[in-house]
């Protein structure tokens, strides 16, 4: 007889690993299209020569550098194995059996999975008509069991973002004993000045934690490093529940080196933003309704045509990310990669979601 799995985990969905066929245009993982600068690669190489030694437990040097960069005290920062790992650590730290996690849907697919792994319930609230978090419906859905609320801003997979006034009203409605996690993995791609920076909000409120990552704008998706900015009690327990030494020497070295290239990171993000806007403009000109994105990807609300569209793109050598019958997410790549996607998208036999439909 096999060893029984813990109740509730047998039906745990697999994390969808985007395919990477040789020679295909890979626009399915929200990765940055360019490799890290040579100096960052060199820093990773040097760190590899010390792989026989454990890394520092708290990523002390990186925490210090981030504190200087963000203008926050060091005890307000926790470093993790990517911001996704920090999501799981926060749920572990603040939720017990019988508690509940609240999030929008669709949003980052890991939130419900991590809640299930922790043995807690998850309540999802549909996005509004503009594919944004419904910040009026979410507070109304709180129950005495709600312990953690996730707000992904900009939202993955739709790329939409909530603005300051709506977010502040929302935060005012959340009880002080409920943790609000502002997941800002795509913050560096935001161009709308009304989309708030979550770090000042964390400094002002005792129940707000902000997540950032080096995976997207910094091009370190394969290295796995991110950080949390939160009041010291939250930052401390987030670190305490993490896997010891999960942030490797290579990751810490990569993060430190990447921070030295702020100008280059900014320039590369601006190039992505220009391509993002070009892609959306081309699709709009063709008569398609594409949500305005503040991230490094676009959302196509294709509903029942989503799978067919994904297969069509794959047959044309372009890999995109299909989300069931909800829509398709397309990462912004290099200009020639984006051109390949546009050729495939505009040749699709069925229309994308039309305006006024």
Overall number of domains in the chain: 2
Let me know whether 163 and 80 are in one domain: yes
Nearest residue to 345 via CA among 325, 307, 326, 318: 318
Let me know whether 226 and 294 are in one domain: no
Let me know whether 268 and 220 are in one domain: no
Helix (H) or strand (E) holding 226: strand 226-229
Output the pLDDT for position 250. 98
Let me know whether 246 and 270 are in one domain: no
Single residue among 202, 229, 259 that ends a domain in this structure: 259
CATH number at residue 246: 3.40.640.10
Output the pLDDT for position 188. 98
Residue 353 maps to a domain = no
Let me know whether 118 and 232 are in one domain: yes
Residue 16 maps to a domain = no
Residues of the chain falling short of pLDDT 50:
352-357
Let me know whether 181 and 285 are in one domain: no
Let me know whether 113 and 90 are in one domain: yes
Query: pLDDT per residue over 243-286, tens digit each?
Result: 999 999 999 999 999 999 999 999 999 999 999 999 999 999 98
CA 283 to chain centre: 24
Residue 352 maps to a domain = no
d(CA 101, CA 120): 7
CATH number at residue 325: 3.90.1150.10
Output the pLDDT for position 272. 98
Residue 9 maps to a domain = no
Residue 112 maps to a domain = yes
Let me know whether 122 and 138 are in one domain: yes
Residue 10 maps to a domain = no
Let me know whether 193 and 292 are in one domain: no
Output the pLDDT for position 350. 53
Single residue among 259, 275, 305 that ends a domain in this structure: 259
Let me know whether 255 and 268 are in one domain: no
Query: pLDDT per residue over 159-213, tens digit each?
Result: 999 999 999 999 999 999 999 999 999 999 999 999 999 999 999 999 999 999 9
Q: Which domain holds residue 136?
A: 38-259
Yes or no: say if 294 and 159 are a contact pair by the CB < 8 Å rule: yes
d(CA 196, CA 208): 13
Single residue among 203, 225, 259 that ends a domain in this structure: 259
At residue 7, the 3 state secondary structure works out as coil
Let me know whether 30 and 100 are in one domain: no
Let me know whether 70 and 137 are in one domain: yes
DSSP code string of 110-166: HHHHHHHHTT-EEEEEE--TTSS--TTHHHHT--TTEEEEEEESS-TTT-----HHH
């Amino acid at each position: 007889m096999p060893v029984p799995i813990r109740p509730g985990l047998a039906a745990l969905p697999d994390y969808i690993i985007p395919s990477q066929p040789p020679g295909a245009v890979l626009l399915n993982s929200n990765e940055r299209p360019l490799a890290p600068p040579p100096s960052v690669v060199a820093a990773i190489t040097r760190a590899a020569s010390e792989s026989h030694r454990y890394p520092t437990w708290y990523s002390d040097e990186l925490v210090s550098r981030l504190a200087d960069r963000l203008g926050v005290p060091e005890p307000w920062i926790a470093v993790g194995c990517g911001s996704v790992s920090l999501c799981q650590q926060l749920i572990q730290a603040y939720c017990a059996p019988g508690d509940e996690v609240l999030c929008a849907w669709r949003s980052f697919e890991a939130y419900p999975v991590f809640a299930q792994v922790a043995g807690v319930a998850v309540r999802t609230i549909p996005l509004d008509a503009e594919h944004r978090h419904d910040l009026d419906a979410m507070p109304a859905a709180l129950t005495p069991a709600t312990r953690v609320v996730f707000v992904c801003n900009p939202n993955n997979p739709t790329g939409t973002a909530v603005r300051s006034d709506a977010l502040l009203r929302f935060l005012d409605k959340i009880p002080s004993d409920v943790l609000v996690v502002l997941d800002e993995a795509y913050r560096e791609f935001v161009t709308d000045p009304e989309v708030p920076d979550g770090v000042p909000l964390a400094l002002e409120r005792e129940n707000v934690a902000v997540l950032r990552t080096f995976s997207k704008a910094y091009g370190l998706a394969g290295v796995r490093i991110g950080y949390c900015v939160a009041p010291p009690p939250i930052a401390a327990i987030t670190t305490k529940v993490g896997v010891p030494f999960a942030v490797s020497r290579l990751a810490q070295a990569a993060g430190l080196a990447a921070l030295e290239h702020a100008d280059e990171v900014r320039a590369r993000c601006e190039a992505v933003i220009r391509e993002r806007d070009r892609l959306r403009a081309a699709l709009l000109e063709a008569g398609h309704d594409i949500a305005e994105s503040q991230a490094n990807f676009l959302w196509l609300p294709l509903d029942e045509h989503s799978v067919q569209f994904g297969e069509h793109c794959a047959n044309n050598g372009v890999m995109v990310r299909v989300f069931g019958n909800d829509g398709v997410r397309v990462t912004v790549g290099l200009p020639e990669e984006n051109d390949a996607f546009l050729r495939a998208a505009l040749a699709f036999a069925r229309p994308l979601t039309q305006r006024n439909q």
